[in-house]
Amino acid sequence: MGLYFTICVTQRSNFTLLAGIYKKNAIPFNTVALGRGTASSELLNMIGLDDTEKVICFSVMTDSIWKSVKKSLQKDLQIDLPGAGMAFTVPMAAVGGKTALRVLTHNTDFTRGDESALKDTEYELIIAVCEQGYSQKVMEAAKKGGAGGGTVIRARGTGVHSAEQFLGITLTGEKDMIFIVSRSAGKAAIMESIVKEAGPETRAKAVAFSLPVTDTAGLRLLEPEE
């Protein structure tokens, strides 16, 4: 589609700088969660990292925006140095509805292309971002569409106008992120149900999109009998 789901992990102390980079590049859609590194102390010492609190920023970017952000991460955040963090992108497969697409690409020069080049994947990861407290509503809608279950992460959302106010001051609102793995053939029904029952026009204000999954383990009930 020409859209990428981008994940950036850095130390919480670096996040003001990261927010500035994202604001400069006018990224319209971000959600933020806190985490902590879990590598062994020997590995951390070897690569110059520590187990301090991390911040994880989930964003949606076009290819051109990512190229600009990558340069800024390398130059300003010095993300290539040990301990500074990491960032990576995953091509998006589909977006649930025109309203969601406008939310994800507001004020960009995005031109929609074909679905992800990874067209032959058997499974996809559906990600729905909704107002906090409505994750159950989203999951109920997803199950109506055929989903088996999901995982919820609490996060905070921001737009470009409040990027400098992440973590501890004023935010645009707390969010729930719901992760659902489904068969690619069943993805459309699940996303359509989420949009209908809990989409941007409802109180849940859920935005849903999907990412290609190249392989899985632990989904035996979804897999055909061998």
**Cα–Cα distance for residue pair 144/210, rounded to 1 Å:** 18
Tokens of 50: 């520590």
Q: What are phi and psi of 171, to 5 degrees?
A: -120, 165
Alpha carbon of residue 129 to chain centroid: 8
Q: Is the pLDDT at 222 greater than 70, yes or no?
A: no
Determine the pLDDT at residue 223: 55
Q: Looking at 49-53, 75-79, 132-136, 188-192, which range is the least confident one?
A: 49-53
Q: Is the pLDDT at 126 greater than 90, yes or no?
A: yes
Length of the chain: 226
Q: Is the pLDDT at 25 greater than 60, yes or no?
A: yes
Determine the pLDDT at residue 195: 95
- The reply to whether 94-222 shares the fold of 3-91 is yes
The CATH class, in words, for 94-222 is: alpha beta
Query: What residues does each domain of the chain span?
Result: 3-91, 94-222
CATH code given to domain 3-91: 3.30.70.120
**Cα–Cα distance for residue pair 149/139, rounded to 1 Å:** 7
**Cα–Cα distance for residue pair 175/160, rounded to 1 Å:** 16
Question: Within 13 Å and on the Cβ side, how many CA atoms surround 88?
Answer: 2
Q: Nearest CA to 99 among 208, 210, 204, 200? A: 200
pLDDT in tens, 149-172: 899 999 887 654 443 344 343 346
Determine the pLDDT at residue 170: 37
